[in-house]
A and B are shown apart, each in its own frame.
Chain A
């Protein structure tokens, strides 16, 4: 057998599984979004009604904009906080201890997401760990209320949950940077700061971009965090999708919102990639 035939045969079980459980269901959800449902009867006439409703009813637009806005902030916070960690591990940790540091950073990610989010609710609450501790220490006189059941709580919790997704891609790219380039820059009279700005950072950009996309895309569709710590002002599109499917029995509307969310995310990701390419070209 030829190599290519063998490769195809070998990859086919996994590929067929992805086709059946990912590609086909995605196609189904797109089809569903053009149907309508009245309580339990599904009307399979193709129509744009759901899309019209999604665009005209302000509640959907508001939730979508808020989801993208929250994800944008979460992404910026997560990546900015993560970069120095990736940099520290790559440039200042002894080679034999790097794997240990990366492992330490990823351990919390492997524990139950539900439990971690719930713990943030306990930490940030009105009578929570943070408030009772600060009150007990006499640092504040009244409990802080701006940290739970709002946008801030969602940002803190998601930035915590997605930390390894931002650290790992940046770390991988930093590891590949040829250290002699940095020495050369310094020999040619750059300071540590300008070397970082003009050599390290541009070389690290592919990792930063990967980190941005890996954090941004899944957080737009996060369900648990907005539900547990977001309060009414922190709900996101996934909560509405769940409500449409499981509470209102309006699966086609839920499907429409899911499709719109994916389209928005894809468009934003593509614009981001395009802007970045222009930015890098501009520097050269």
Chain B
């Protein structure tokens, strides 16, 4: 077995290098956000929190943050609700054309976002729907729902049908059994789904770029700032806050997901997707 161990060692070195490659950009981000220079390069010139302070007095940024938060919260709620319906239907029932229907619902997962964006743009302009936060929400719900379904499928799949049957035998209605037995068991999955959809919507750029009209979201605002070299340190500071927030939310979502797995007595085999 020496060969296998040696192979494992080589792979381990490779895996660590790969993680360095994966994390390089988001590790450099805070380094430059706190660097006292408008030029983004090494060597570093000193520590400053000036760029973060500057963020406080940009009204356009604040309204973009509020717009994004509003869109992300509503998107998370709707796409999780749609996700619950689809995941429950797919794991509990057999129905005609199931693979086809689920396939269509999951397509946005691999479709280039620009295709989603332009096709929605064409339709909204034709039916005379003015571009606003609403149109962004409609697009975000479409791309977030497949992620919600992927997470919720995991929660619903590991449920024991006999639990529900027992509740019905004891006199609960179908809805009562769902609310009292199923819902508490899948709750951690639902929370994870809400958090993931929130994060995707918060970070999404292309659909918002095409559909946000005169209310820019945070990424659209950020895109506008990238053109001005003197704004770059402030962009780095803003990016740092965004990335830290995303990572915290994702860790929280993962924690909920694992708690859900433990609650249903399953064993954990991997991440979200």
Query: Which residues of A approach B to under 8 Å, CB–CB?
Result: 3-8, 10-15, 17-19, 21-26, 28-29, 32, 81, 84-85, 87-89, 91-92, 98-99, 102-108, 110-116, 118-120, 122-123, 127-129, 132-133, 136, 160, 163-164, 168, 171-172, 175, 192, 213-214, 217-224, 228, 238, 241-242, 245-246, 251, 254-255, 258, 261-262
Bound CA–CA A22/B118 (angstroms): 11
Bound CA–CA A11/B94 (angstroms): 11
Q: Please classify how large the interface on chain B is, using the bins under 10, 10 to 19, 20 to 34, 35 or more.
A: 35 or more
Bound CA–CA A88/B125 (angstroms): 50
Bound CA–CA A129/B236 (angstroms): 14
Give the residues in chain B near A89, CB-CB below 8 Å.
Answer: 15
In the complex, the answer to whether B141 meets A17 with C-beta atoms within 8 Å is yes
In the complex, the answer to whether B14 meets A84 with C-beta atoms within 8 Å is yes
Bound CA–CA A3/B246 (angstroms): 40
Main secondary structure on B side of the interface with A: helix
In the complex, the answer to whether B110 meets A241 with C-beta atoms within 8 Å is no
Give the residues in chain A near B249, CB-CB below 8 Å.
Answer: 110
Q: Which of B8, B93, B247 contacts A111 (CB 8 A)?
A: B247
In the complex, the answer to whether B115 meets A88 with C-beta atoms within 8 Å is no
In the complex, the answer to whether B104 meets A23 with C-beta atoms within 8 Å is yes
Q: Which of B3, B81, B85, B258 contacts A11 (CB 8 A)?
A: B85
Nearest CB on B from A182, distance (A): 10
Give the residues in chain B near A164, CB-CB below 8 Å.
Answer: 273
Q: Which of B101, B118, B250 contacts A241 (CB 8 A)?
A: B118
Nearest CB on A from B24, distance (A): 7
Give the residues in chain A near B187, CB-CB below 8 Å.
Answer: none
In the complex, the answer to whether B4 meets A120 with C-beta atoms within 8 Å is no
Q: Which of B119, B139, B239 contacts A118 (CB 8 A)?
A: B239
A3-B93, A105-B19, A221-B114 are known; give 18 further A-B pairs, CB within 8 A.
Answer: A6-B95, A7-B95, A10-B89, A14-B86, A14-B145, A18-B107, A25-B123, A104-B19, A106-B271, A112-B243, A114-B222, A115-B29, A127-B39, A129-B28, A163-B18, A221-B112, A228-B226, A238-B114
Main secondary structure on A side of the interface with B: helix
The yes or no answer to B154 lying at the interface (CB within 8 A) is: no
Query: Which residues of B approach A to under 8 Å, CB–CB?
Result: 3-4, 7-8, 11-12, 14-15, 18-19, 21-26, 28-29, 32, 39-43, 81-83, 85-86, 88-90, 92-96, 98, 101-102, 104-105, 107-108, 110-116, 118-123, 125-126, 138-139, 141-142, 145, 149, 196, 199, 203, 205-206, 210, 219, 222-223, 226, 235, 239, 242-243, 246-247, 249-250, 254, 258, 268-273
In the complex, the answer to whether B114 meets A7 with C-beta atoms within 8 Å is no
Q: Which of B21, B89, B123 contacts A160 (CB 8 A)?
A: B21
Bound CA–CA A242/B223 (angstroms): 15
Give the residues in chain A near B247, CB-CB below 8 Å.
Answer: 107, 110-111
In the complex, the answer to whether B7 meets A192 with C-beta atoms within 8 Å is yes
Q: List 8 A-B contacts (CB under 8 A).
A: A13-B85, A99-B271, A106-B273, A112-B242, A115-B29, A119-B24, A127-B39, A241-B114
In the complex, the answer to whether B101 meets A218 with C-beta atoms within 8 Å is no
Chain A residue at minimum C-beta to C-beta distance from B86: A14
- Considering the complex of A and B, which 9 residue pairs feature the smallest CB-CB distances, nearest first? A221-B112, A7-B93, A7-B95, A119-B25, A25-B119, A11-B89, A10-B89, A14-B86, A102-B271
